[in-house]
Structure 1
């Protein structure tokens, strides 16, 4: 049993990266049944309720007294706020495969923003891999003109906004990590998302609450929001933190890349989404670039939340 334990972190990594990879599929499925804000409202409400139950039962400990809540709210404004608005709305106009490829660029965005805001200059070889990832994304965009999905540039633009928002989230969370534990940050994020997205969804329904929760009676809706709220936002979170506490950040970058691969396979296999040769080339460039950006990054960059932002 002791021998097997050394493989537990990698097994946990496979689990959470697979959960994150399939989250794009379930988001796409959910968007076919309800509006983006309705889906987000249900997702974060279930996640917040799940974490609250864990808090009440003493499984997790949340202590926010005397801490910098203003900056934590600013963090939540970027993630889940702007990030999930851009990601979920963007997926209305793209495939789950493309969403997985674009979101994979988050570590690259973090590296670029860290250089601009924190003056953490990337190494020369790291800059090469950053350029490789960005080049892969542009390769996909520029080649869309010859494909049947050419009209969906707006979706890619929104996903790009999600990537930038996640980059800012990582920069702020790195500072807050000195004061808050990851579970505390996640708890506030889930609560913020549940409050804001449900308010927006109810407003868009002209505050008519009579049938607001009726969608939860539909099996497919319930499956989507439970997967996104419980598995993607709670189970994967604990698996991810366990993995990151046991292996190096460079090793963890492999699981970030696996998330992208799983999202592509899930979209093609389960939703019969088209996947063209130029997307294969772009995906390979992005994955190699993300791996190199993480592997050759400075320790403080490597130790960032390059996977944590998908929670």
Structure 2
């Protein structure tokens, strides 16, 4: 009974952490360039994981011959995913970002049908369509809501869509790799891949606009520091362990239900702490998205109750 409650609490905590990650990303982007934010975030996460390996809190049995395959997976996430997500958050709101990113399970179902030839039922197809319709409603509401940067807003929604597709590919390829690699091995290579790629891009980006001196200067701002600590340690490392703990005690489909709290948290965080506009059409569109995500997960079960595909996405 204690394990049941602790695993449920862990799953809810992960959803809350992921939900607030959009708020902290938006806050950090006021002081850091996108690649600078990503580079420092993943460097912090990679160093933290390495420290945990060195003090033997976590075990890592990574063979050099396995690294190229894991780097290939890392291309989808973190590289493509976080580039699209970060620029998407920059051009939209934390509220909208959390809702659009909630489409990841829908993308996994759709790509599993295309790539893995997994069956998609008529009910699933209906809810996939509903989820996409909800995003369209939110996109239209960005202009109807009186936003002056409608082109940038629509670009941001498009980039978030690309992030969702990238996360879908990552889920499929990491599922194939799960048979020969542990989650910690995949995550370790992901974090170091992100740290190396994004810091190189971040240094170049800063050199072009502010000079290399400005790369660390933004870290003098408390908001930037707290945002990086949250994203690099809490969202990337702590949430990973909590998620794996929840998955070790509860079925993946049940854990995925708790993940539906993430967009709700992102909406509340954006509205309360960032005073973001969230109008009627955006609210209706968000509800349609969540219904679509729920239905896609709900009807991905076989008659015996076994899930054909269950994807959990981490921030």
With the shorter chain as reference, the TM-score category is over 0.9
Aligned to 1:173: 174
- Unaligned segments of structure 1, at least 5 residues: none
Pair 1:191–1:33, CA change in 2 (3 A): same
Question: How far has the Cα of 1:250 moved from its partner?
Answer: 2.4
Question: Residue 25 of structure 1: which of 23, 26, 39 is its match?
Answer: 23
* Alpha-carbon distance in 2 for matches of 1:248, 1:67: 32
Deviations 1:91-118 (A, max 9, x none): 1110000000110001101111110111
Question: How far has the Cα of 1:136 moved from its partner?
Answer: 1.1
* Alpha-carbon distance in 1 for matches of 2:253, 2:273: 31
CA contact (8 A) 1:294 1:301 kept: no
- Unaligned segments of structure 2, at least 5 residues: none
* Alpha-carbon distance in 1 for matches of 2:251, 2:121: 19
Pair 1:66–1:199, CA change in 2 (3 A): closer
Matches within 5 A, 1:239-258: 239-258=242-261
Aligned to 1:200: 201
2:247 maps to 1:237:
no
Pair 1:272–1:61, CA change in 2 (3 A): same
TM norm structure 1: 0.94
Aligned to 1:78: 76
Question: How far has the Cα of 1:302 moved from its partner?
Answer: 3.5
Matches within 5 A, 1:200-239: 200-206=201-207, 209-239=212-242
Q: Note the aligned Cα RMSD (angstroms).
A: 1.6
Deviations 1:18-59 (A, max 9, x none): 000000000000000110000001100000011001000111
Count of equivalent residues: 306
Aligned to 1:303: 310
TM norm structure 2: 0.93
Deviations 1:127-157 (A, max 9, x none): 2221221121122223333212334111101
Pair 1:143–1:271, CA change in 2 (3 A): closer
- The 4+ residue runs of structure 1 with deviation greater than 6 A are none
